[in-house]
């Protein structure tokens, strides 16, 4: 019976916690961007005010929209984002904190890659169903972005799994926990490090595309297609999308942190902190993790989005399908070759 409680309780906790942290991350992002643009910027709590306001507003369903898809899509987006975050964060913290329960063995990278697509697919379905030409255009663009970022992500996942099959032959190679247990950088030669850096760089480019931030916000391009996918959404549904976006940002960035910088306090220092008999190492780890998340968010989202113009959708497809995929494959080859070269 205990697993039943876990199944219902943990997603609830993650929804509330992830929503709050994700929205605060948005606020921090806006504040930093404002600083760079010599503005004052909104208060950190602005995303919460926005959602509070949207919740009170009238929710309009367009006349020629497909009602049930239109109104179902925001819930699917939010639910899948939360599940995604559960499968990314809970096994990781279970591993860090040395717990052993229902979620600690579940969740592998293939599942996460598929879950990662669901919020976007929900957005696309909602866009197509809203019956507005702008939303249709946005949905088409979102599909292109979705498909072109898939290949780099898949190559990255395969690279990690391949490496685990060498480093830890017994463990399950696609599990995120195993990946955290054997960080990419440990026991690597210069070739492997270079390959890992290529992978990290390509994931850093994929992150803004997953989060629909400039230069990859074609699906919502404000000055081109008037918020595109979200053109017809209002009120509660828009608020749900915004929460889902916050949760998904946190999930995507957490995934990057877990893949590339997984070490917690114990792994870094080898000590546990336990003043007066209370073990607060896990608390410390949460703080360290949050700092990493905000740093990655800042580097790969905020600084990029203030320093670039929006690309065209054809340029995006070319960038991901050619440049980034080649970078990923190069990283894959380098990491594969690393053990061979070191034995020479």
Q: Give the residues lining the site for other proteins (CB under 8 A).
A: 36-39, 133, 137, 140, 214-215, 217-218, 221-227, 306-315
Q: Which is nearer to other proteins, 158 or 226 (CB)?
A: 226
Give the nearer residue to other proteins in terms of CB position, either 61 or 311: 311
Nearer Cβ to other proteins, position 217 or 338?
217
Q: Please say which residue, 217 or 285, places its beta carbon nearer to other proteins.
A: 217
Q: Which residues contact 240 (CB under 8 A, 6 or more apart)?
A: 74, 75, 77, 78
Question: Is residue 291 within 8 Å of 28, Cβ to Cβ?
Answer: no
Q: Residue 128 and residue 124: Cα distance in Å, rounded?
A: 6
Please report the sign of the dihedral spanned by the C-alpha atoms of residue 219, residue 222, residue 224, residue 226: positive
To other proteins, the closest distance from the beta carbon of 191 in angstroms equals 30
Task: Work out how close the CB of 124 gets to other proteins at its nearest, in angstroms, rounded to a whole number.
Answer: 16
The residue assigned the tokens 């860090």 is 96
d(C-alpha 56, C-alpha 54), whole Å: 5
- Provide the minimum distance between the beta carbon of 152 and other proteins in the complex, in angstroms, as a whole number: 20
Tokens of 330: 């190069």
The residues that bridge with 108 in the sheet, in sequence order, are 175
Show the 3-state SS of 280-292.
Answer: CHHHHHHHHHHHH
**Chain position carrying tokens 């979200």:** 230
Q: CA distances (Å), 168 to each of 62, 105, 156, 256, in order?
A: 54, 16, 18, 21
Q: Report the nearest approach of other proteins to the CB of residue 308 (Å).
A: 4
Q: Report in angstroms how near the CB of residue 134 gets to other proteins at its nearest.
A: 8
Helix, strand and coil in the chain, % to nearest 5: 75, 0, 25
Cβ distance to other proteins smaller for residue 127 or 192: 127
Nearer to other proteins, 266 or 311 (CB): 311
- Nearest CB to other proteins, comparing residues 42 and 72: 42
* Least distance between other proteins and beta carbon 159 (Å): 29
> Rounded to the nearest whole angstrom, what is the least distance from the CB of residue 135 to other proteins in the complex?
12
């Amino acid at each position: 019976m205990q697993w039943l409680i876990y199944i219902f309780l943990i997603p609830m906790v993650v929804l509330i916690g992830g929503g709050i942290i994700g929205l605060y991350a948005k606020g921090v992002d806006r504040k930093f961007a404002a600083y760079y643009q010599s503005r004052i910027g909104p208060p950190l709590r602005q995303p919460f005010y926005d959602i509070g306001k949207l919740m009170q507003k009238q929710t309009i369903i367009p006349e020629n929209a497909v009602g049930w898809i239109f109104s179902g899509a925001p819930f699917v987006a939010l639910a899948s984002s939360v599940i995604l975050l559960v499968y990314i964060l809970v096994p990781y913290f279970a591993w860090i904190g040395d717990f052993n329960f229902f979620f600690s063995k579940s969740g592998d990278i293939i599942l996460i890659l598929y879950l990662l697509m669901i919020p976007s697919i929900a957005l696309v379905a909602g866009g197509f169903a809203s019956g507005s030409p702008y939303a249709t255009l946005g949905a088409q663009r979102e599909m292109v972005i979705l498909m072109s970022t898939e290949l780099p992500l898949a190559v990255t996942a395969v690279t990690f799994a391949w490496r685990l099959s060498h480093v830890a032959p017994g463990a399950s190679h696609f599990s995120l926990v195993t990946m955290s247990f054997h960080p990419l950088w440990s026991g690597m030669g210069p070739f492997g490090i270079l390959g890992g850096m290529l992978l990290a760089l390509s994931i850093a480019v994929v992150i803004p595309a997953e989060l629909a931030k400039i230069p990859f916000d074609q699906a919502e391009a404000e000055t081109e297609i008037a918020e595109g996918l979200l053109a017809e959404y209002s009120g509660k549904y828009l608020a749900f999308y915004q929460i889902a976006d916050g949760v998904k940002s946190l999930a995507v960035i957490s995934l990057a942190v877990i893949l590339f910088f997984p070490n917690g306090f114990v792994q870094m220092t080898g000590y546990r902190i336990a003043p007066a008999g209370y073990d607060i190492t896990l608390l410390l780890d949460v703080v360290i993790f949050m700092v990493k998340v905000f740093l990655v968010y800042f580097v790969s989202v905020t600084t990029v989005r203030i320093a670039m113009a929006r690309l065209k959708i054809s340029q995006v497809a070319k960038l991901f399908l050619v440049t980034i995929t080649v970078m990923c494959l190069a990283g894959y080859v380098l990491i594969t070759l690393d053990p061979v070269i070191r034995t020479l």
